[in-house]
Amino acid sequence: CENRIKELKDDFGLESFCLQDFWATEASFRFIMVAYNLMSLFRHFALNHHNRATLKTLKSYCFALGAWKVNHANKQVLKISLPAKKRPWMDGIFAQIQNISPPFNYSNA
């Protein structure tokens, strides 16, 4: 539980916002919790990690990547710039995501 609170404070900026209106602060808090839950689901289903990767780690390995869009056979294709060593890992993530279908059976315990 303490690690989750620490991650919410450090990675999601939970302790650094306070707006003048109560409802604005409440909306910000709920948005942060939705973002945290989405990242937790991504870790659980795509990476098969439960608590190992923090948002900082995921940013550097999964989201902060160079990419460009090309047209191939009348379809738009996203080309991701990755070192050869990371390509099988990233292909595995996309394969995991393709195999996921709702409804999700996820326990937060």
81 phi-psi bin (left φ>0, alpha ψ -120 to 50, beta other): beta
**How many domains are there within the chain?**
2
Asked if 41 and 14 sit in the same domain, the reply is yes
Q: Rounded CA gap, 77 and 80, in Å?
A: 10
Asked if 26 and 39 sit in the same domain, the reply is yes
pLDDT of residue 107: 66
Asked if 1 and 48 sit in the same domain, the reply is yes
Amino acid code (one letter) for 50:
H
Asked if 16 and 50 sit in the same domain, the reply is yes
0.75 exceeded by the pTM?
no
107 domain residue, yes or no: no
| Residues spanned by the domain of 15 | 1-62
106 domain residue, yes or no: no
pLDDT of residue 71: 93
pLDDT per residue of the chain (109 residues) written in tens, 0 to 9: 677 778 888 888 787 777 788 888 888 889 988 988 888 888 877 777 655 677 777 777 777 788 889 999 999 998 888 888 888 888 888 888 887 776 666 666 5
pLDDT of residue 92: 83
DSSP output for 45-104: HTS--SSS--HHHHIIIIIS--EEEEEETTEEEEEE---TTTHHHHHHHHHHHHT--SSP
